[in-house]
Chain A
């Protein structure tokens, strides 16, 4: 009896080890396989982080300089455009906007180029291709974590201790990650066949910077936009993300109506679903086109 169970177990284990490549069958998303390659994900991310600051004198300090300069520039600019008397609040809001936008824009552009940048590995070794965009996302998250610490220091120094709403911020970061991952993944797949994508991305991001409330407040956009364009503006998931993140940090009013907030989440999940499907469908042809 005992032997029987062992045999069944053994046969089951053998089945698990079996790999079948069939030209007739379509690819499916295999999460267990991705989990099996988690060390690779981590190592690729570490490579990108380590390589970036090798042979620099300031090292990781550069991760702080870029957002800091952006905060100063756009803080001043925003003060010119919509004057506010509460300078401390303003500083934190602008910082929050700039930093979350930094996460979104770098992850979209890094993920879009990630497959091409790693073509030397893709054409030599097999692993689930989704590891590569995921590792790019991890790198962006690490960068974000560093600038978030600065944001937190600024916030505590100028405005005071965080409120309860503050602890909602991981949700908005997650939202941002899912959204930029979906967009980036779609472009990464397209990028393999059509290199035009690498020209389009910076352009799209530049447009995005101005149509989203990055350094100006959502109220400003709502005031200035014509009535017809308001629903378009509000249904952009990025508006919910950025406004929500600002809300968590400063406790200001969350201006996106519930309907738009929920529809934004639905849009994002649909985007994620479709770009994952698109990616999984085409990942097996990557090595032929790169």
Chain B
């Protein structure tokens, strides 16, 4: 009786060539081509693609469920079907009560309308009645912290104000079921926290059911109590405790193949200087796959420039992230006071970390190359470093393995 959402054998099929021809500009020609093809071959050339297949689960009232999966795993399609935006190809969904979906911040906001007008418009789009908005209007304005600009068109708002206003409306929705896509990725950290807090609050107090999609593992474990992991449109890990789900997702993420840096195309930046390789060396300058906490680690960054001139004012920066997306550190030659002038147009630079400070786990390095303050190249997870616990303090004692953390030099005394 407590089951609030019941999903049975849900599936969504898309036809690939259909979508492709639609996105092309010369639709006429491609459709003529398709017609000719199907005429010659005697059948329609259609490739089927199941974005979601055979997904079934039941969610209890008051559960806060995180839906986890890599890009393309079908999370968004699942949410869209649950919130009735797209219709399923197979299967059945049953739920009790009102459902509100938050797949985007500020759906239907119109730049020419004032903050006040947009609150009413957005509220009614999200499914609130006029009297409900009237009743919560002051709360919404308070929450958004934009009281002074209530009668200014939102196109004059800063992006932060815009997001705050949009969230404020969404945070005051009052459905039995709330479906939230990765909308919390925008907005500043403090406000994100406020929103999460608000959602947690309502969920705990009124037993509201929440379905939440995010790539940010800390916010998932904070907000949710259960999780589902999706992989290629099917359920990889059925509904379980959120910590088990996150672990299962991390295992899944780590098993993906590693791609050569030089071959990667998912880069950002102007691209005049490119990172071509990154290798991890140990204290004997030998290439290693695993490094040990407390030992010397050298990162060799190979780069290449389009110009043949020597390169000035170049900075390299590396950010170190856990496999769950937790940010650990940002290092760069600019911060450590080792500027590079007159570098050859292609070559390598070395980053020496005397004592690797982070405990065991797998860490992804995002690497950026800047010149004169302009980003030339940026690669997410350019290389992964596997770390094993080592004797950081030289005492033979390790920090407990349950604590994945950054270690610091410290000494303890009875008197100063």
Binding site for B on A (CB under 8 A): 14, 17-24, 37, 39-40, 42-44, 46-47, 50-51, 54-55, 120-127, 284-285, 287-289
Contacts and interface: CB of A to CB of B under 8 A. Distances in A.
Contacts of B92: 20-24
Interface stretch (B125-133, B197-205, B283-291, B360-368): B125-133
Contact of B153 (A39, A42, A54, A124): A54
A23 B93 CA distance: 9
B86 A55 contact: no
Contact of A127 (B87, B103, B112, B125): B125
Contacts of A287: 80, 85-86
From B22, B85, B129, name the one whose CB has the most chain A CB atoms within 10 angstroms.
Answer: B85
A201 B87 CA distance: 29
Given A23-B88, A40-B125, A43-B120, A125 B101 contact: yes
B94 interface: yes
Contacts of B112: 50-51, 54-55
A284 B107 CA distance: 19
25 contacts: A17-B96, A19-B84, A19-B96, A20-B94, A23-B11, A37-B124, A47-B110, A47-B113, A50-B112, A51-B110, A55-B112, A120-B107, A120-B108, A123-B85, A124-B104, A124-B108, A125-B101, A125-B108, A126-B83, A126-B84, A126-B101, A284-B86, A287-B86, A288-B14, A288-B86
B94 A125 contact: no
A19 B99 contact: yes
B89 interface: yes
B91 interface: yes
Question: Interface size for chain B: under 10, 10 to 19, 20 to 34, or 35 or more residues?
Answer: 35 or more
Contacts of B103: 124-125
B318 interface: no
Contacts of B128: 39
Contacts of A284: 86-87
B125 A121 contact: yes
B94 A121 contact: no
B350 interface: no
B117 interface: yes
Q: Main SS of chain A's interface residues?
A: helix
A46 to B, nearest CB: 8
Contacts of B117: 46-47, 50
Contacts of A123: 85
Given A126-B83, A287-B80, A288-B86, A40 B94 contact: no
B9 to A, nearest CB: 9
Interface string B58-96: 000000000000000000000011011111111111111
A45 to B, nearest CB: 11
A126 B14 CA distance: 20
Contacts, number: 103
Nearest to B122: A43
Contacts of B401: none
A189 to B, nearest CB: 15
B97 interface: yes
A41 B224 CA distance: 35
Interface string B147-167: 000000100000000000000
A120 B108 CA distance: 7
Nearest to B1: A14
Contact of A285 (B22, B87, B93, B97): B87
A21 B94 CA distance: 6
B89 A23 contact: yes
A62 B91 CA distance: 52
Contacts of B11: 23
Contact of B94 (A18, A42, A44, A47): A18
B230 interface: no
Nearest to A14: B96
B64 to A, nearest CB: 20
Contact of B95 (A19, A23, A47, A55): A19
Give me the 8 closest cross-chain CB pairs, A-B, nearest first: A284-B87, A126-B84, A21-B93, A40-B124, A43-B124, A124-B107, A54-B112, A23-B88
B121 interface: yes
Contact of B121 (A14, A37, A47, A55): A47
Counting chain B CB atoms within 10 Å of each CB, the highest count among A39, A55, A123, A285 belongs to A39
B86 A125 contact: no
Nearest to B7: A21
Contacts of A121: 107-108, 125
Nearest to A284: B87
A18 B95 contact: yes
Contacts of B84: 19, 21, 126
A124 B96 CA distance: 21
A100 B127 CA distance: 35
Highest count of chain B CB atoms <10 Å: which of A21, A43, A284, A289:
A21
A44 B84 CA distance: 20
Contacts of B89: 23
